[in-house]
Amino acid sequence: MFQLILLAAIIYLLYRWLRQETPRPRGGNPPPPPATGPFNRSAGPIEEMRQDPVCGTWVPVSQAVTLKRDRETLFFCSPECRDKFQAGPPNG
């Protein structure tokens, strides 16, 4: 039993010694960098998203491939989806 307590004390002291040797920043952690990208609310207005009627992917309006049909504008994620939509349902 004494050997187990002695081993635990040695491991604890070794742990404490190793923790002192590793450099740690003073004054806490630095603040995180400012958020960027689509999830940053301070970056300006959030862009409107539209769903592709062929594959269901949500696409920002500025990046969407469009097709005007009657009085409606349809938004697609790619020219391939637009072409599939124009071709209609597959025969068979």
Tens of pLDDT, residue by residue over 32-55, are: 666 666 665 555 667 889 999 999
Q: How far apart are CA 67 and CA 47, in angstroms?
A: 19
Residue type, 42: S
Domains by residue range for the chain, with CATH: 47-92 (2.30.170)
Which of 88, 49, 47 has the alpha carbon at shortest distance from 69? 88
Flag whether pLDDT at 92 surpasses 50. no
At 77 the pLDDT is 94
pTM over 0.95: no
Q: Across all residues in the chain, what is the average pLDDT?
A: 81
